[in-house]
Amino acid sequence: MTTDPDPLLTDLLLTNLQSRRDDDHVVSLDGTWKLILDPYDSGLINILGERNKTGYFRDFKPRHQGDRVEYDFDTSTDIEVPGDWNTQHPELLYYEGTAWYRRLIEVDDDHAARASAGRSFVHFGAANHTTRVFLDGEELALHEGGFGPFTVEVTGRLSAGTHSLVVMVNNRREPDRIPAMRSDWWNFGGIHRSVELVHTPATSIIDAWLTMAPDGCLTGGVTVDGPEAWALEVRVSLGDEVIADVANLADGEQPIDPPSSAALGFERWAPGAPVLHRATWTLHNPDTGAVVDEVHDDIGLRTVRVDGTTLYINDVETYLNGISIHGEGPSGGSRAAGEADASELLDWAEALNANFVRLAHYQHDEAMVREADRRGLLAWGELPVYWGIDFENPATIANARRQADELVVRDRNRASMILWSAANETLPGDGRNSFITTIIERFRALDPTRLTTAALLTLPTNSPNTLIDDPLGEVVDVIGVNEYLGWYYGDREAIPETTWSSTFNKPLVFSELGAGAKFGHHGSDDEIWTEEFQAAVYRAQLEMINRQSECIGLSPWILKDFRTPMRVLPGIQDGYNRKGLVSEEGERKLAFELLADWYKEQP
């Protein structure tokens, strides 16, 4: 490890970037970057364990013919951003370690003037897993976590000319990371979501959100950062109607709590019937009326609540016809990114007659939740708190809280998002219970309007009646049940008679169920890996679910086959989890139509 102190973890989020993309306040840094692999981290640390004075982050060039510089970004490998290195370069399929990215930023006089008049930031959609950001050789930020957005301030550093942006990304699995040493998905490395250069006024809105609470009132908040915040106000409008004026902006996030009448007259967003309203937050000087900054977002208004074991959306009892989705693209087995991937994946979900998607097991690309908003699909967002987490480590819990912040702050304007999930398949214990309770409490502090959940590892008892008594059931609002009767355990013939209940009088969602099948592999329904076997398991599971009085829906595992190094059976798995209803290239298996027909028949 370096003996230099680490820079501060970056903690400034710029949300509502959608509002700035219509003009030249945002400059895309997507496209071709340069890549250098560094499995020994020698570009950062020398053999004495000190910061390398000639490290890759310096982006040095030889000063004369005899000058020894042992790297050269200009002649190194090309890499596309956003994207993962594993599938762009087949020889890097299994690479886990450090890679250095470099992008030259050309700043003309106009952009230099704009930058000097306000503040400038580099915004990353996500990079997996631990990222250090350097500009012109100086380290500016460290970010830990592979799926959330983060922002690095570069104010005062963008004079006219050429600047070297170097990003060190490390996807090495570590015991104290989230996720930790083992997960049943591919550990894609790299800058896998968009990067943007953002210019704002010196005092600007850095976060703004507005949603509908379970009682039908509007609620939200706004955060302004900069030297003039104390003298300014934010006017909040929905469509043409002003609903609030917010002051005291120098004191951190300020609440937007208009009276309940502010929600009257606005048509609600509903599953299958999405209605979005333009929300605008205008930062202005109340004495002169001068507008300092303005952001906007298209939001839906809807309520979500539970009463006993029933889920209500807009006070209408709702059943979740769902499907789980990994953040992997429709073809090629690469990390999903952008609107095209989101659109195709959700096309498949809608072809299933789904009204709900579980976005597992980490924060997905922002395009997914925005597309869900536009389509009227309900969504479940999740943290990568998975197998083998170091629940007793203070650094691990601190990072989990930060990842929770990134998840909620980015997506709490999205009407589609109704469930925040704190974990998947964790084993009960005092440390785990305390850890996940802390995350649930953080969810509720950031956004008290949505429901909380966790996908529990729920093994059936010998009796056909399984009672869920995991202590987390007391903490969450909705209990997720991961069960694989007919696949990992249990006889298929006994599935229809199995019942599930809890001691908590709360709704159950079957967050995972299913079986594996190789597309095109056919045989009897007793022959494992055949499409017929998978369909038979689904048939028995759906018969069972019809009997569950506490169940509010399901999200079978999973929409499509996805990469994982755990699944190695030659000729069948070949590095893919085969529980998908479609193949890794989108070919539909028999169980796809079976589930689609069952959903179509649901009231």
Task: Encode pLDDT of 353-398 as tens digits.
Answer: 999 999 999 999 999 999 999 999 999 999 999 999 999 999 999 9
CB atoms within 10 A of CB 177: 22
On whether residue 4 sits in a domain, the answer given is no
The answer to whether residues 193 and 329 belong to one domain is no
On whether residue 353 sits in a domain, the answer given is yes
The whole-number pLDDT of residue 12 equals 60
CATH of the domain at 155: 2.60.120.260
Which residue matches tokens 């579980």? 358
The answer to whether residues 175 and 256 belong to one domain is no
Least trusted range by pLDDT, from 1-15, 41-55, 96-110, 216-230: 1-15
- In the predicted structure, residue 32 carries a pLDDT above the cut 90: yes
Q: What is the mean pLDDT of residues 101-114?
A: 90
CATH of the domain at 234: 2.60.40.10
Average pLDDT, the chain: 93
Residue 461 vs residue 571, higher pLDDT: 571
- In the predicted structure, residue 5 carries a pLDDT above the cut 90: no
Boundary residue ending a domain (251, 280, 302): 302
- The answer to whether 238 and 277 have CB atoms below 8 angstroms apart is yes
Share of the chain above pLDDT 70, in %: 96
What distance in Å separates the CA atoms of residue 98 and residue 79, rounded to the nearest whole number? 14
User: Which pLDDT band, with edges at 50, 70 and 90, does 501 fall under?
Assistant: very high
> What is the layout of strands, in order, in the sheet containing 218-225?
204-212, 218-225, 254-256
343: left (phi over 0), alpha (psi -120 to 50) or beta: alpha
The answer to whether residues 260 and 128 belong to one domain is no
- One DSSP character per residue, 491-520 reads -GGGGGG-EEEESS---EEEEE----B-TT
Calculate the CA 200 to chain-centre distance: 25
**Residue 265: what residue type?**
G
The answer to whether residues 454 and 569 belong to one domain is yes
Boundary residue ending a domain (302, 325, 352): 302
The whole-number pLDDT of residue 261 equals 79
CB atoms within 10 A of CB 259: 11
The answer to whether residues 113 and 181 belong to one domain is yes
The answer to whether residues 352 and 474 belong to one domain is yes
The answer to whether residues 289 and 398 belong to one domain is no
Q: Which domain holds residue 243?
A: 215-302
On whether residue 11 sits in a domain, the answer given is no
User: Which pLDDT band, with edges at 50, 70 and 90, does 117 fall under?
Assistant: confident
Boundary residue ending a domain (269, 302, 335): 302
What distance in Å separates the CA atoms of residue 486 and residue 541, rounded to the nearest whole number? 9
28, 118, 204, 224, 339 from 227: Cα distances, Å:
27, 11, 10, 10, 36
On whether residue 127 sits in a domain, the answer given is yes
pLDDT digit string, tens, across residues 404-417: 999 999 999 999 99
User: Which pLDDT band, with edges at 50, 70 and 90, does 264 fall under?
Assistant: confident
- One DSSP character per residue, 292-348 reads EEEEEEEE----EEEETTEEEETTEE--EEEEEE-SB-SSTT-B--HHHHHHHHHHH
Q: What is the mean pLDDT of residues 305-316?
A: 97
> What is the layout of strands, in order, in the sheet containing 130-135?
77-81, 31-37, 98-107, 161-170, 130-135, 138-144
Instruction: Return the H-helix or E-strand segment holding 119.
Output: strand 118-124
What distance in Å separates the CA atoms of residue 59 and residue 74, rounded to the nearest whole number? 10
The whole-number pLDDT of residue 1 equals 33
On whether residue 5 sits in a domain, the answer given is no
The whole-number pLDDT of residue 3 equals 36
Instruction: Return the H-helix or E-strand segment holding 132.
Output: strand 130-135
The whole-number pLDDT of residue 262 equals 79
What distance in Å separates the CA atoms of residue 202 and residue 156, rounded to the nearest whole number? 11
On whether residue 307 sits in a domain, the answer given is no
Question: What is the number of structural domains in the chain?
Answer: 3
Calculate the CA 253 to chain-centre distance: 23
The whole-number pLDDT of residue 18 equals 64
The answer to whether residues 569 and 538 belong to one domain is yes
Cis peptide before 123 (omega within 30 of 0): no
pLDDT digit string, tens, across residues 319-333: 999 999 999 999 999
The answer to whether residues 296 and 343 belong to one domain is no
The whole-number pLDDT of residue 17 equals 67
What distance in Å separates the CA atoms of residue 568 and residue 591, rounded to the nearest whole number? 23
On whether residue 206 sits in a domain, the answer given is no
The whole-number pLDDT of residue 116 equals 85
What's the pTM value of the predicted model, to 2 decimals?
Answer: 0.95
On whether residue 395 sits in a domain, the answer given is yes
What distance in Å separates the CA atoms of residue 459 and residue 467, rounded to the nearest whole number? 10
The answer to whether residues 448 and 559 belong to one domain is yes
**Residue 315: what residue type?**
D
The whole-number pLDDT of residue 465 equals 85
Residue 487 vs residue 262, higher pLDDT: 487
Q: What is the mean pLDDT of residues 7-19?
A: 61
What distance in Å separates the CA atoms of residue 173 and residue 184, rounded to the nearest whole number? 13
Burial of 272 (0-12, 13-18, 19+ CB in 10 A): exposed
The answer to whether residues 433 and 559 belong to one domain is yes
- In the predicted structure, residue 565 carries a pLDDT above the cut 90: yes
The answer to whether residues 362 and 278 belong to one domain is no
- In the predicted structure, residue 460 carries a pLDDT above the cut 90: no
